[in-house]
Structures are given as C-alpha cells and as structure tokens.
Chain A
Amino acid sequence: MQGNTACAEGAIAAGCRFFGGYPITPSTEVAEHMALRLPKTGGVFIQMEDEIAGIASVIGASWTGKKAMTATSGPGFSLMMENIGYAVMTETPCVIVNIQRGGPSTGQPTMSAQGDMLQCRFGSHGDYSVIALCPASVQEMFDLTVDAFNLAERFRVPVFLMADEIIGHMRERLIIPDSVVSGQRVPLEQGALPFRAGEDLVPGFPTFGMGYGVHVTGLTHDERGYPCATSPKLHEDLVKRLVSKIEGARDSIASYDMVNPEAETVFVSYGAPSRSVQQVLHDHPGDGIGHLRLKMVWPFAESLLSRFKNAETFIVPEQNLGQISREIERHVDGDVIPVPKLGGDLHTPDDLYRVLAEVR
C-alpha cells in the first residue's frame, strides 16, 4: 500500500469521521482515499474552496465532537497558518497532515523535502506549542496517524503528521491491526468553567449541541471562555498554560527508536533520511554507530540526546538546510554536523558513511 493511503486508513481506524481539504500534490491521495472511504463509515468528506476553508471546516467539525483531519503540502500549509493558531488558542483537537515537498513557493511539487519542520512549530503568530510526528515507513503512516488522533484528543491541540513525499508515495507492506487504541477527549463536567484546566492543564471538552452554551473565541479569554483581551496577567497565564500542557509532557510522550546508546558518533534523523541511516547501520554491523530516530519531533525531547552518554558527534541528515540540527545544537556540548540535502533526492547510504568516516 502507498504511504498516503495508509495515512487515510490509519485516520479511519483511529475514528476520524470528518475530512475537509483541498487537493495539492503530493498529498492528494490522502484526500482521495478519504473521499472513497469516509462515506462508507458514516463519515463526511468535503472538498473545500481552499486550504484556509479546509482547516476551518475541520475545526468546526471538531467542535461537534467528531475527530477531524485535513491533509496538504507546502503552499496549502502556509495558507492554514492563521487557523492553526486559532485551533491552538481555542484548544481544538485536530490532525493536519503535511506531505512535504520542495519550497519555497510552488517549488518542487512532486519532490520530497523536510523544509516545513520549523514552520509547523512556529508558523502561526504568537507563542505556542504543538505536537509533530514524522513517519519513516508506510506502516508508520498508519500507526503515527492513529497516534496523532490520540494525542490531539488528549491534549486538545493540533497534531501534525509531518511526512515527506518519499514516505507519502512509497509502497510497502502494511499490516492493519484488528483494532487500534482510540482515545477520546474528556468531556467537560456540566456546570464547570469551560476553560478551567486541572493538573494536566487540559480542560474538559464542551461539545456543541450538548447544552453547555459555551463561547469559543480566538481572542484571549478567561476561564468562562469570554473575551478578555487587555489583561496582561490573564493573557500570560493562558499562553503559558497552552505551552506548558505540551512542553511539560515532552518526555512522557516522546516517540523514538534508539540504537547503540554507547556510541560516540550518533545519527539523529526523522522521516525519509532515516531509511538511509538504517542502511548505513545495516551495512556496517559492529561499527558502533549510534542512531536516534525521532518519530515525534515536536515537542523536542532533548533528554533523549543526553542518553547517548559517550556521544561526541551528532550527524543530522535532513532534507532541508538544517532545521532540526539547530535544535540539537541548543542541547548538546558535542559537535553537531548537519547534512543538508535539497532538491528531492534522498541522501544515499554512501553519502552518510562518507560523512561518518570524515568525522571519525
């Protein structure tokens, strides 16, 4: 099965019953498969007039209690940014799939890239935190889409599946389990304040149509949900809670593969370049090469890096000019060697082994 199709199947398995989106290469197969499958599962598919409307319809659907998703690529992702901030501010669970292609602008519609990794973290205005997952196989297009929905429901936040064209269009064997763990947002207790959070910093969800009479606004709001946009303290408390509910959980929700934690030289990768790193390790067994493969890039769990106690050098192959390598530099004392690759081709295992040989 193709990666994009596996993503759509994962969404349906996770309980997604609404898809609103706009066709864009190389993500279109996700929408096409949802259009085929959702009506047969009691769900709704709608092709909106643009990506702004796509994410807007998803947020609207989510407030009726439905699990909802959209899928896009670079230019559409840019268009969605304002409403992504709205979803963060209103704490709306939703899943946004970005099958990354070469940018900036129209760039390389059919070629792979990882150039939106910082945009997904910082692209909307203001301070906030989100969750981003990066699949490196067709199986993970399915599995991590399921995880994305569960995390969105648990944290009431947009969760991104930041795939790339290579993984999206790759065909591999997919094993669909008989059932998956399907998390549900916790309903708000009747009579409770709709935006007052408990210890986990995530308020209960007041689904529209259930008698809550809740007001939802992108304006800075108090615990009743009422606009209160000029109180410095209230704004600071709200934004800090929205950030803390994600950042405070980064170690407990971290998702990764770790190989040879005793290694002195460690590859850190996510998405398609992970496949080349895995080939290097396969071709050089017993060579003591370390590998940290991030399945969740945001929030960035820096504690994973310190578990490579002997690490002197981190090599970071990315299909961009070094976006996550900068994040790693912030957290380690050793050398960080970015291995940027633009244009759509994957780093070959030889490319990576050459870098390894040079730093050793």
Chain B
Amino acid sequence: MKKLNSFLKLAWQVSPDYLLLLIAQGVAAAAKLWLNLILPKFLVDELLGDRNLQAVLFFGILMVANNVGMTWLEKGFRRFLEGKENYLRNEMNKKMAEKILNLEYSYLEDPYYLDLKERAVFAISNQDAIANLVSRISEVFGGMLSLAGVLVILVTLGPVMIAVLLAAVLAMLFLYKSMSAKVVEVMSNLIPYNRKYGYYYNLHTEKQYQKDIRLYHMEDMISDRTKAYATEVCDHMEELYIKEGRSFGGVSVVNDAVAAICYVYVGLRTISSRFGSQISIGSLTMYVSAAIQFTGSVFTLGEGVITVKQVLSYLDPYMEFMALKEETAETGKTPFEGPVETVAFSHVTFTYPKAEKPVLTDVSFTICRGEKISFVGLNGAGKSTLVKLLCRMYRADSGEIKINGKNICDYDYMSYMKAIAAVFQDYRLFNFSIAENISCQEAGADEARIRRLIDEVGLREKIDGLKNGIESRFGKEYDEDGIEMSGGEGQKIAIARALYKDASMVILDEPASALDPIAEAEIYEKFNSLVEDRTAIYISHRMSSSVFCDRILIIDGGTVADYDTHEHLMQKTDSLYYRLFESQAENYRLKEAAGR
C-alpha cells in the first residue's frame, strides 16, 4: 500500500490530468454498465405490461443513447489517454534520468547500483510496468465502482442471491489464490531468465560485437545460449499458462453455475411469492444480468489486484533507485573563489565502496599554482582515482585534500566544479553542435575563442571541410546529417573543451591515446602554451609526455613511490619510473634501431 502510494504520488507529479482522465474513464465505464442493467428492466416490464408505445420508445431510445453515447465518450477518452500514457512513460524515464544526473558520482561506478539501474530499467522497458500499472489501477478502480453499483441492485433481491454470490466469490477466491501464488512464483523466477535472454539476444544485434562474432565463428555459441534461455522462459511461461487455463476454466464453470442458479432462483421468484416478494420478468433479466455482471466484476477486480501487486513488486528496483541520495544535498557552503593556489593531499587513504583493499594508502603530496605535474604508474595503480577524488566524485576514507588551505568538500559544489576542467580517458561527446561541445553553452559562446582552440588542437582542416562548420551536429542517431568523428578527432574536441573552460586547474587523463604520433606530439608540445598559466595534471602511458612536466608523481601499489623531476628520477636506475621509461625508450633509440 505504501509502495502504491509513493508510486501514485510520482505519477501525479508527472501528469495529474492522466490520472484524472483515468478516473473519469472508470466512472463512465461503471455508469454505462449500470445503466445497461437498469434500463432493460424497464423496457421489458413495459413490453410485458402496459405496452405504452411512448414509454417503450423512451426506454429504447435511452438504451441506444447509453450505448452509443458511452462508446463515443470512450473513444474520446482513448484519444487523450494515448498521448498522456506515452507522456507519462517518457517522463518517468526522464525522472530516472534526472535522478542519475543528480546522484553522487560514486554510485555510478558501483556495480550494485549499475545492476540496480539495469533491473529498474528492465522492469520499466520490458514489462512496460508503469503504463501497465497505471491502467490496471484504473481498472481496479472502475471494477470497484461497478461492483458497488451492481451490489446496490442485487441487495434489493434479498439475502439468498447474496449468499449464492458470496459462495461464488469464495470459490473464485480459492481459484485465484492458487493461481496468484503461481503467477508470483513464475514471474519472480522469470525475471533473471528474461534478463539473461535479453543480454544474449542483444549480442545478435549490437554493433560492437559483430566483428568478433564473425571472425571467431561465435554465432552458434550465442544463438544456442539465446535459445536455451528463451526455452527456459517458455517452459516457465507454459507452466503458468496451463495453470491459468485450469483456473480460468474453473472461473468459467463458476460463472455458468451462477447464471443457472440465478435463473432458477429468480425464475421461481417471478412465479410466486413463496421465496420472497414476487417480481416481474423485466426484473428477472435485470437481476440475472446483475448477478453475471457481479461475478464478472469480481473477476476483473481480482485480476487487477493481482497484477497491481505483481507489477508493484517489479517496480521495487525503480523505487529503490529513485530514493537514492542526491549529490547536491550535501555540499559545503563556502563559494570557491579565485585561482587554485595550492593543492595538497595529506595522508589520503581511499577504498572503493565494497572493495576489500584500499586503492590508495596514505597519499601525500602538494602541487603549487602553475605547476605541470605528471602522474605515472601501472594500470590500476590508482592514478585515475586521485583525479576522481580531486573532482569530488568520491570522498577519501581518511586524510584530507585541501585546495588553498581548505578541504575541497567544504566548498560549494557548483563553484568548485567551475575551477576544474578535465579530459578523461573515456571522455564523451554529446549530440550537440561542435561549438556547443566545446563551449558547453547553447548560446552566448565566444566563437573566436572556439575557432582559435580548434586551430590549436589541429582540427581546423577537418572542420572547414564540414558543410556546417562548427555548427555541425554530432551523431547520426540524432540527425541524418549528423557527423561522426574518429577516436583521435574526438579526443581533440575533448581537449578543446577542457581548454575552453575557464578553470584554473586542468586535468588530462590519457588525452592522446587515440592520436597518431604527429598529432600526439603536436598536442604535447603545445600543452604548455595551451594550458597557459593554469595548474595542470597529466596522466599518460606515453612516458615521453612526462619529460615536459615540472615534477612527476610515481604511484605504485596505492602509495606515492616518488615525487621528483624527470632528470632526478632517471638517475635512479632501479626505480619503476626508469623501467617504464626505458621499456618504451629503447624502441626509439636511433643507434640501437640502426643496429637491428
């Protein structure tokens, strides 16, 4: 009930008119049904009694009006509901998107939340849970209304019929209970299978896998696995279908019994007053239809309640996700002002959530304004983690990171973010125009500056060749005329973006991995002039890049192994830095190369 409540609240926020429309629809459906029970009674009574032409025609016209008018109304409802339902579905997705964008970043790298998101998305997209739930809730609502209306009619017949119907309801409840247990069982069994099936089915169509599939002849392996899971899903579903066939068969028998008993009982009431006050044949049709309608309503109601319960349980991951803590909720108050003067890590230890071992232990170092620092270490040493901590994507377990003498977490988040620009190794571009990707602004960007940066990162030729120049949009999925860029070109855009941002600290994490040697060298050689007087941090596996830097921070096994200039480090011939540098350098020594 609580879940239902919070879901309805969410839906109400998104689209109150959708819910109102559904309520109106439920009322109209119940009204139509009720009138269809009452009106024939008057008509038949009139036909069997006075046979007053005017009265007969009056009731006849009312019946026609009810049926036609209500059908018309239904169509009208459906016209608006389609749009609203679609809107609700997309908006609920957007709500989740909003949530993701507001989440504390650390959630985004935690496999648990990644999985939670997948599960939430699966329920919403694959089971169409939201639309399903809302329409079922309205069905339950309508079912209750009609049930109430029908009961009002049936009560006038006296207790016997109520008793019969009660017995029927009990029988149906019994059938439902066993079926609903099965539904819950099968459906909960099914979710993991469905997800697995979905994963393997996607391998058929996802572009990135297709080369491997063809060259390594994986199609049998994949299609066999997909089929195996599909068969598994079918096995479960078949079990459920067969159970449902039995139960619904039973329900149908109960319905027929109700109809037969009802005709007998009400029929007897029309003959004499032995079982209660005598009634008319017209009332007979009304009561019998009402009784049949009653079981029918119980039926839809029961079905609706089961589905609502079931779908609500699907929505658990969604609701759990929507309740996660948001980032902006806990930010310092001090606005960050002025350039970065000093960056100081003191005794920083950090463990990724749910990891056993810390990735950084007791890390301390200081960077001063305008310095160019290179972080060097093996894959997985913790270089990128340092960057993430600095960007406040995670918080240190212990120790402090201070900028200008103050813990970075005490600064207001938005103003702090303004001080940092970064190119990540998995940088992303968006399907906006090139200019917007660089300036991160829709309007009011400094076009001259964009052009200068494009020039400096070496993209001028490329962009001059485009029909729409810097206004060209990225991405074919968005626009047929959208442009695509190679990995190297994309990296150059990402670099330009970092440089456009007026931040006093620039972080470049593997910014040139996809660049060809010439472009890479150009970028590195220009870095110093590009970053101007900003404080800069580089991470690169190209050891030659560290030659440019003022100092090099060596991270080994989560601790600072050294922090010195290139010249000094190269004198320590047993150090990691020396080994790393030499392993690449030996391939480029011209003397040795000549001797090969």
> Are chains A and B native binding partners rather than an unrelated pairing?
no
Binding site for A on B (CB under 8 A): none
| Contacts from A to B (Cβ < 8 Å) | none
